[in-house]
Structure 1
Amino acid sequence: MTEYGRSPGSEPWHPTDPLYGDQGWEGQQQYPQQTQYGHQDPYGQGHGGHGGQEQGYDARYQQSQAPQQYSEQQYNDQRYVDQQYADQTHAAQAQEYDTPGYPAQQYDANWETGQAAMPYGTAPADPYGGQNPDLYGTPEAYPPPQPPGRRQEPPEPVTDWEAEEPEEERHPFFTGEDDPDGDEEPAGNRSSRAGRDRRSKGKGRGGKGRKSKNGVACLVVALVLVGGVGGIGYFGYQFWQGQFGAAPDYVGDGSGSVQVEIPKAAGGYEIGNILKKAGVVKSVDAFVSAQQKNPKGLSIQAGVYTLKKEMSAESAVSLLLSPASQANFVIPEGKRNSWVYDQLDKRLDLEAGTTKDIAKAKADDLGLPDWAKNHANVKDPLEGFLFPASYPVAKGNKPEDVLRKMVARANQEYGKLDLETKSRELGLKGPWELVTVASLVQAEGKTHDDFTKMAEVIYNRLSPENKETYQLLQFDSSYNYLMGQSKIKIGRDEINSNPDPYNTYKRPGLTPGPIGNPGAEALVAALNPTKAGWMYFVATDGMSKTEFAKTLAEHDKLVEKFNASGSS
């Protein structure tokens, strides 16, 4: 700065300059005084300690200022304009604040001390009553005001995150250095150590140490990137395979043997899950796809099938459609319970007689209807309720579970026929007797025509008006059931000597209960008998052909025919 309060730049200082101007200090300036050079000194008595230098000012100073943009005359003219503006401003302020004891203010331009200047020869007024406090003596006080020429832009505030330069990372992972202790250095020692490292960095090693450290870090980053790309590629391939690739599948016809049970009304995905769990197919999707491609794939029936392990899905579908693979337990129409028990023991790999004993002990817990319970002289309460059908039976099943399924199927079929109402219409005591009639029809008949005529024979012989047999049915089938046999010709002496209730040659009326398990056709025939007056029948060929008669004389002719056939 020069004695005139301006820099040696290209433009002079001006009180209203927005960058170097007064910025509100006009009201605190004293009225300018004339110097010995004929111009007004804007700072009154000078710049603090430089006031005495003005008297040493000579023409040489003006010559030294010649290279500047403005001449001394121009500078004085500008100062005169500024002084006129200041005089007008102070005059207005003096008029506004002209109160008793408030003289026109004149301030000393002594900005170093900030002491207000008073007119020459007068003592300055003490606004603080002699205490003269130091307004700028405390650390939290603002610094004393400076003249406009010495003002500087305040430094920008330092934020917390800029207060300290971030410490360079010195962890061995990034620097490549070995950690001598293997432990992380305490936080309190990092700063000094980092400083030492920065000062000594590269010394004695020619910079090779840092290059090797950077290489290790780059290698680690590269490995991480390669691993990430590989993982993304693997999962992307798995996703593509799951969405668009072929489903996993075995090749060939498989090997070994395994039994699977397909439940009723099972769909493709349910069957596929069963086969996959049993190790037959490799995936559910492969099976479903093969099933849809096969024209008969949707006709797979419920039941137990014997398949092979690790079969192709196509082979599995084909085998499920083949009767050779079906391992269901099938009860033929008319079979007695004794046959069913024996077969279940073999199928479930049980000791002979196991299923029969369980059936007898748990008969009331297997689902029989109330009208099928508590009948006298019944040899097997489940007889007639192991309905002829196909049942899924595999090793590991419990006999009682299998028997419960059979009884449930019988209840389902009997429930369709309204046996209660029909039995009353036919002169029977209830559904129990109607099922018994159906079992006799099933045992003696061979065809549907046989069934309807045989049912009429039974109802005619049970009639109280029967004068031919007097309510005796005289069926060989009932005696065979009693004896556990299946003979075509039974001797009269044998029949007449056995008083068992199941011997219809000796006991009138129906047997105490069913003598076998009738099928649906025999049941329908029992409900809808013919009304032709049939009273007798004879299997003239001894096996399949049955002929009927209305009178005893006709019956005798049929017997002669039977004897002539040589069947006897």
Structure 2
Amino acid sequence: MYGDGGWEGQQAHTGHQPAYGGLPQQHPQQAQHGDWTQGQQPAYDQQQYPYYDEQGHQHYGRQYAGQDQQYAAHTPQQYQHQGGWDATGSHGHVPYAADPGDPYGQQPASYGAEQPDLYGTEDAYPPPVPPGRRRPEPEPEPEPEPELQPTAGGEEHPFFAGGGADEDADDEAESRSGRGERRGKKPVKSKKRRTGCACMVVVLVFGGGLGTVGYFGWKFYQNRFAPAPDYAGDGTGETVTVEIPSGAGGWDIGRRLKAAGVVKSAEAFVHAQGQNSKGSQIEAGAYVLKKEMSAASAVALMLDPKSKSNVLVTPGERNSGVYQAIDKQLGLASGTTGKVARKQYKNLGMPGWAENTSTMKDPLEGFLFPGTYPAAKGMKPDAILKQMVSQAKQKYAAYGLPSKAQALGLKNPFELVTVASLVQAEGKTHDDFRKMAEVVYNRLKPTNTETNQLLQFDSTYNYLKGASNIHISEREINSNTNPYNTYTHKGLPPGPIGNPGEDALRATLNPTHDGWIYFVATDGANNTEFAKTYAEFQRLKEKFNASSGN
């Protein structure tokens, strides 16, 4: 800053006074600086000494520490005329007077009139830097925020009180010290006071937690003890059709009814179903119900057959009867569903092994599986037919028809369905079905010499005619050569003659092996008797004629 011949180096060798004066800095322990050695300290002038004002200008005069008093300032020229400078450039000063504000001012060992002035010697501190050249003091680093610690003895923590003891102490110290003691220093930012917002956040958090616990507690009580939401009365005038699939339980039915606006909750329906002694008897199908019904009223109405909107396919029923039922249920013109079946049968999901020949009356015959199917106004016929065909496809696959057909001497599963339809049409009971299946298989055998592979079933001829007549003359039968006339055509008809049920289907897969080859409904209706020889058959035929009046 001052070069090689700076102030400190020159002071040690020449003993000259620096180019500017200043207040001497004293310390109980004097430090040694640079190359200074111990020597005599020049005495201050007892009258005047140089000093600097706040603008950095040099003056001479008398200044007492701690007191803003200056005496008769002199310029260097005036001071020289008064004889203040000696030959060496040094001058003497009277000792400083004790500072009244200095706690050590009255101690002779530290400060006072008897203490030697060490200014200009190696024992003195470096002279003060002029104000104009002083470097600004570094800003004090902000103190880290103290972590919140729990207070002992149950005292309220400053966090909740809105402030801390340290902040109060700082405020008090500032008020005592005044602005004079902080002059020339950068003001320290006061700590931010914590407000009630923090307490508000805590209250909200705890309040939210209590609210959540209360809500779930209320829901738990509602689910366990409170009655389920339910409507009152028998419902409004608006009706809706609800389809209940096969195998649906109480909860599934309740959810469907709730989605349709019939009941208010599935829980209420399940409870009402359990309270009704016949509640478990609700069947699959389509139901016409009212909206906003009480759960108990909905259960009661679903048990009433009048509420159902279904199509029932009975075992052995022909497709013509099923088509008529669908038209009636959907409010369509007669013959509408039959036309749809003939045009769209390929798009209804028939199994790949199903046949369709020019001699067949209906390619869907035998594939509308017996059961109950939803059929309400607004639905399309093909949608209902798809459900029936899908059910037949699943059942036939479950019984393994493709693998069992060859074992029974048949060409394919389609012929097996045809045999089942014959068994269903001619038999009356489960025992009849098994014997009837054996009659069919025995007559189809090439070794059959009793009928020469002719089935001779009235049911096939009636299917051809669309009738159910058991009194057919031999002349009529023998004159018809249609493939469905098994009196004139050997083997099976072109296809099924109805839709067999599971009982007939199981009997077809498990026939008897007793040698039955003939049968006669001796009462003309329900009593079917079987014979192994033609002679036995003649006796059964006479019995039938006697009962029917022929």
Both proteins in one fold, TM over 0.5: yes
2:442 to 432, 437, 460: 460
The yes-or-no answer on 1:337 pairing with 2:319 is yes
1:304-343 counterparts in 2 under 5 A?
Answer: 304-321=286-303, 325-343=307-325
Q: Structure 1 160/446 Cα, relative in aligned 2: closer, same or farther at 3 Å?
A: same
Q: 323-332 vs 507-516, which deviates more?
A: 323-332
Q: Report what 2:181 is aligned to.
A: 153
Q: Report what 2:70 is aligned to.
A: 48
Query: Cα distance, 1:30 vs. partner?
Result: 7.0
Whole-angstrom CA distance in 2 between matches of 1:298 and 1:499? 52
Query: Is the 1:384–1:517 Cα contact (8 Å) retained in structure 2?
Result: yes
Q: Structure 1 94/506 Cα, relative in aligned 2: closer, same or farther at 3 Å?
A: same
The yes-or-no answer on 1:497 pairing with 2:479 is yes
Q: Report what 1:209 is aligned to.
A: none
Q: 419-428 vs 290-299, which deviates more?
A: 290-299
Residue segments in structure 1 that go unaligned for 5+ positions in a row? 1-21, 36-40, 52-74, 99-103, 108-113, 115-133, 143-150, 163-228
Query: Is the 2:108–2:115 Cα contact (8 Å) retained in structure 1?
Result: no
Query: Is the 1:542–1:567 Cα contact (8 Å) retained in structure 2?
Result: no
Residue segments in structure 2 that go unaligned for 5+ positions in a row? 1-22, 31-40, 49-61, 74-103, 138-178, 192-206
Query: Is the 1:541–1:567 Cα contact (8 Å) retained in structure 2?
Result: no
Q: Structure 1 339/43 Cα, relative in aligned 2: closer, same or farther at 3 Å?
A: closer
Query: Cα distance, 1:263 vs. partner?
Result: 2.4
| SS of aligned partner of 1:449 | helix
| SS of aligned partner of 1:253 | coil
Query: Cα distance, 1:551 vs. partner?
Result: 2.1
Amino acid at match of 1:154: R
Query: Is the 2:255–2:266 Cα contact (8 Å) retained in structure 1?
Result: yes
Whole-angstrom CA distance in 2 between matches of 1:23 and 1:97? 8
Whole-angstrom CA distance in 2 between matches of 1:349 and 1:242? 48
Q: Structure 1 80/50 Cα, relative in aligned 2: closer, same or farther at 3 Å?
A: farther
RMSD of equivalent CA atoms: 4.3
Whole-angstrom CA distance in 2 between matches of 1:364 and 1:77? 124
The yes-or-no answer on 1:86 pairing with 2:108 is no
Q: In the comparison of the two structures, how many residue pairs are matched?
A: 408
Query: Is the 2:242–2:256 Cα contact (8 Å) retained in structure 1?
Result: yes
Whole-angstrom CA distance in 2 between matches of 1:446 and 1:386? 20
1:96-107 counterparts in 2 under 5 A?
Answer: 96=123
Report Cα offsets for 1:225-256 as digits up to 9, x if no partner.
xxxx9xx99xx899947962543311123354
Whole-angstrom CA distance in 2 between matches of 1:243 and 1:264? 34
Which protein is richer in helix relative to its size? Answer: 1
Q: Structure 1 269/552 Cα, relative in aligned 2: closer, same or farther at 3 Å?
A: closer
Q: Report what 2:153 is aligned to.
A: none
**How many percent identity over aligned positions?**
53
1:11-26 counterparts in 2 under 5 A?
Answer: 24=25
Q: Structure 1 389/47 Cα, relative in aligned 2: closer, same or farther at 3 Å?
A: closer
Query: Cα distance, 1:471 vs. partner?
Result: 1.5
Query: Is the 2:63–2:70 Cα contact (8 Å) retained in structure 1?
Result: no
1:413-424 counterparts in 2 under 5 A?
Answer: 413-424=395-406
1:563 to 523, 527, 545: 545
Runs of 4+ displaced beyond 6 Å = 26-30, 75-81, 158-162, 236-239
Whole-angstrom CA distance in 1 between matches of 2:421 and 2:398? 17
Q: Report what 1:184 is aligned to.
A: none
Query: Is the 1:254–1:309 Cα contact (8 Å) retained in structure 2?
Result: yes
Q: Structure 1 86/292 Cα, relative in aligned 2: closer, same or farther at 3 Å?
A: farther
Q: Report what 1:248 is aligned to.
A: 229
TM-score by length of 2: 0.64
Query: Is the 1:32–1:43 Cα contact (8 Å) retained in structure 2?
Result: no
1:85-484 counterparts in 2 under 5 A?
Answer: 86-87=115-116, 90=118, 94-96=121-123, 152-155=180-183, 240=218, 244=222, 245-254=226-235, 256=237, 257-291=239-273, 300-321=282-303, 325-484=307-466
Query: Is the 2:311–2:372 Cα contact (8 Å) retained in structure 1?
Result: yes
Amino acid at match of 1:495: I
Report Cα offsets for 1:40-89 as digits up to 9, x if no partner.
x9859x943479xxxxxxxxxxxxxxxxxxxxxxx9986798346630x6
Amino acid at match of 2:343: A
Q: Report what 1:548 is aligned to.
A: 530
Q: Structure 1 470/42 Cα, relative in aligned 2: closer, same or farther at 3 Å?
A: closer
Query: Cα distance, 1:492 vs. partner?
Result: 1.8
Q: Report what 1:488 is aligned to.
A: 470
Amino acid at match of 2:467: Q
| SS of aligned partner of 1:362 | helix
Q: Structure 1 267/417 Cα, relative in aligned 2: closer, same or farther at 3 Å?
A: closer
Whole-angstrom CA distance in 1 between matches of 2:24 and 2:360? 126
Query: Is the 1:498–1:506 Cα contact (8 Å) retained in structure 2?
Result: yes
